[in-house]
A and B are shown apart, each in its own frame.
Chain A
Amino acid sequence: MRSAGVWAVLAVAAATLALPLVLDSGGLAVYVQVAVSASVVVGISLLMGYAGQVSLGQAVFFATGGYTAALVSQAGLPTLAGLLAAPVVAALCALVLGLPLLRLRGHHLAFATIAVHLIFLAVVAQTDALGGSTGLQGIPLLSLGPVEVSTNQGYAYVAWAVLAVVVVVARNIVRSRPGRALRALATSETAAASSGIPVGRYKLTVFAVSAAFAGAAGGVFAFYIGFLSPGMFPVSMSITYVVMAVVGGLGSVWGAVAGTALVTVLVHYLGVLGTLGGMPDYAPSVLTYAVYGLVLVLTVLFLPHGVLPSLADWWRRRSGAREGRDRAGEEEREAAPA
């Protein structure tokens, strides 16, 4: 079972590295998009699934990372410095915003984060230093030392490398003393506090970590696309991230990646379908939103723990049942709900 897991991870890693070499340009764009979005969604999964906090403004931190990377690079500093500054500035913004916001709970927090998103868009559109509503043009290509990343394949590798770092950081947090504390306070802040966990400080920390993930993704995105404007970060983008996290399974790091891939690929190919000849011109947007809605409803109805955790459960039960036939003594344990 354990070695099967290792092989699975190796196979996935090899496929991840090989895919950019074989995909066509459309596929490659989706591939980069999945890695960039998944870095944000892993942060949301951590925030919602482990710390019990909802953010419908995560695209703000994505945009913050993007603008940071762009401004640092356009100021003549190394682009790598821009990429590294992106998560730091996004996390600092989260610390400042989180102090008042995280006093709110549940849907109050959700609404407040949407409000922050709207204010952010309005402020950026009015700020000349950020290019106002026309945005920033001519963001340089990313350079890693002497190597300039100029192809979409190159950005695919950068995006997936950033995602790999995000996944490792998230998993290391989850399986640790602070990770346990986060899971504890997600279900009972009172009981967590009575074990000495500083609930407020921990919530703020995980909010900043999730913002750093989004900021790093935004940094990659800025170099990849080459221009930024407030219109590229609508509120629906923040909502999409939450949908991806829920579909993948809140509180599952790999689930977040799977949920992102599933929703991104589905939406992309329905968009392609919508633009085929003979389709009315409202078809693409109708199909896209219908799919968000449908996927979310189906997940919540049939796979309440998300796609990947449900699959894992099914697999465990299946192999459990097989072993159970050989070892009757284990049957009772396997039958107990996980």
Chain B
Amino acid sequence: MAELQITGLSRSFGGVHAVQDVDLTVADGETRGIIGPNGAGKSTLFNLISGHLRPDRGGVSLDGRPLDRLPAHRRARRGVAIVFQAARIFPGMTVLENVMVGAHLRASAGFTAAVLRLPAHRAAERRIRELALDSLDRVGLSDRAEDPAASLPIGLQRAMQLARALCADPALLLLDEPASGLRAPERERLASIVEELHEDGQTTLLIEHDVAFVSRLSDRVTVLDLGRVIAEGTPEQVRDDPAVVSAYLGTGEGAAA
């Protein structure tokens, strides 16, 4: 169960209204596409949901319980996982270790258990490792598990981050342009992962510039422009919406970047 409810959410930077009075409800198990021209406020919206930014006004709740007072790591505990637009990897670690960090919340052995090498520590290590290997398998990176994370090309670093997010078994998955930098076969793999997650009842928000890609994967699509929601509906409804057409034409953005 994971229903996302956003009401009156606003955040500005100096004079720039990055997100303005956004209302958004995403049903449990829905894949929601978020599109909009560059600078529309899509990433800012994700940062507000995941707790990396504080809003000026408005609120976010998951399953009817507000997230607003929680810092980012507590929201992760509530089941929010994010794949950032910019690759945020842990460069000194292997690919496997990067993904193991994502399983942090799936075990609880802390400093004391580690120092004393208690059975809880060993059980946690085994479990975290298994979960990470499963996630790596899912995104097709098993054969790179022992490579330094920084040696992956940027597209695969993003796939590694997806594995890290999946490892947490999230209630709400936020994907910020996960397909950028991927080549065609990797892109297809990503699409099929998102589809599988959808079948398993995962609630997902997907930001993408490639409208065809989003339309194919999403139940509904929300269009942002200049921080505001300018259209929402099924992919077909949104595509024909005159406000959307003019927003894209107005900024000179190609709809199929």
Q: Which secondary structure characterizes the binding site on chain A?
A: helix
- Say whether B104 contacts A177, CB under 8 Å: yes
From known contacts A172-B115, A195-B168, infer whether A188 and B81 are also in contact, taking CB-CB under 8 Å. Answer: no
Whether, in the assembled complex, B124 has its beta carbon less than 8 Å from a beta carbon of chain A, the answer is yes
- Say whether A187 contacts B90, CB under 8 Å: yes
- Say whether A194 contacts B124, CB under 8 Å: no
Contact with B along A25-36 (1 / 0, CB 8 A): 000000000000
- Say whether B121 contacts A190, CB under 8 Å: no
Whether, in the assembled complex, A300 has its beta carbon less than 8 Å from a beta carbon of chain B, the answer is no
Interchain CA distance A236-B164 in the complex, whole Å? 43
Whether, in the assembled complex, A100 has its beta carbon less than 8 Å from a beta carbon of chain B, the answer is no
Whether, in the assembled complex, B208 has its beta carbon less than 8 Å from a beta carbon of chain A, the answer is no
Whether, in the assembled complex, B125 has its beta carbon less than 8 Å from a beta carbon of chain A, the answer is yes
Write the chain A residue with the least CB distance to B76. Answer: A196
CB of B112 to closest CB in A, whole Å:
9
Interchain CA distance A169-B101 in the complex, whole Å? 21
- Say whether B110 contacts A178, CB under 8 Å: yes
- Say whether B73 contacts A177, CB under 8 Å: no
Residues of A218-276 contacting chain B, CB below 8 A: 251
> Which of the residues B76, B91, B110, B111 comes within 8 Å of A193, measured between beta carbons?
B76
Residues of A105-142 contacting chain B, CB below 8 A: none
CB of B118 to closest CB in A, whole Å:
10
Question: Which of A4-12, A197-205, A322-330 lines the interface with chain B?
Answer: A197-205
Interchain CA distance A205-B116 in the complex, whole Å? 16
Most buried by B among A169, A179, A198: A198
> Which of the residues A173, A186, A196 comes within 8 Å of B104, measured between beta carbons?
A196
- Say whether A177 contacts B90, CB under 8 Å: no
> Which of the residues B77, B89, B110, B125 comes within 8 Å of A196, measured between beta carbons?
B77
- Say whether B76 contacts A172, CB under 8 Å: no
Whether, in the assembled complex, A183 has its beta carbon less than 8 Å from a beta carbon of chain B, the answer is yes
B91: A residues at CB distance < 8 A: 187
A193: B residues at CB distance < 8 A: 51-52, 71-73, 76
CB of A316 to closest CB in B, whole Å:
14
Q: Chain A: interface residue count, which band?
A: 20 to 34
A317: B residues at CB distance < 8 A: none
Whether, in the assembled complex, B7 has its beta carbon less than 8 Å from a beta carbon of chain A, the answer is no
- Say whether B125 contacts A191, CB under 8 Å: no
A196: B residues at CB distance < 8 A: 73, 76-77, 104-105, 168
Write the chain A residue with the least CB distance to B80. Answer: A194
- Say whether A177 contacts B164, CB under 8 Å: no
Residues of B168-189 contacting chain A, CB below 8 A: 168
B77: A residues at CB distance < 8 A: 196
Q: Chain B: interface residue count, which band?
A: 35 or more
Write the chain B residue with the least CB distance to A49. Answer: B92
Write the chain B residue with the least CB distance to A192. Answer: B101
From known contacts A183-B90, A193-B71, A195-B104, infer whether A177 and B110 are also in contact, taking CB-CB under 8 Å. Answer: yes
A188: B residues at CB distance < 8 A: 88-90
Whether, in the assembled complex, B237 has its beta carbon less than 8 Å from a beta carbon of chain A, the answer is no
B84: A residues at CB distance < 8 A: 190-191, 194
From known contacts A178-B114, A179-B114, infer whether A190 and B52 are also in contact, taking CB-CB under 8 Å. Answer: yes
Interchain CA distance A19-B121 in the complex, whole Å? 36
- Say whether B76 contacts A176, CB under 8 Å: no
A176: B residues at CB distance < 8 A: 109, 113-114, 121, 124-125
Interchain CA distance A268-B123 in the complex, whole Å? 47
Whether, in the assembled complex, B117 has its beta carbon less than 8 Å from a beta carbon of chain A, the answer is yes
CB of A236 to closest CB in B, whole Å:
30
Interchain CA distance A100-B2 in the complex, whole Å? 37
Whether, in the assembled complex, B60 has its beta carbon less than 8 Å from a beta carbon of chain A, the answer is no
CB of B132 to closest CB in A, whole Å:
10
Write the chain A residue with the least CB distance to B97. Answer: A180
Interchain CA distance A100-B81 in the complex, whole Å? 29
CB of A306 to closest CB in B, whole Å:
14
- Say whether B73 contacts A198, CB under 8 Å: yes
Whether, in the assembled complex, A336 has its beta carbon less than 8 Å from a beta carbon of chain B, the answer is yes
Interchain CA distance A191-B47 in the complex, whole Å? 12
B interface, CB within 8 angstroms of A: 50-52, 71-73, 76-77, 81-82, 84, 88-93, 97, 100-102, 104-105, 107, 109-111, 113-117, 121, 124-125, 128, 148, 151, 164, 168
**9 contacting pairs across A/B (C-beta < 8 A):** A176-B124, A177-B104, A184-B93, A187-B91, A191-B84, A191-B90, A193-B71, A195-B101, A251-B92
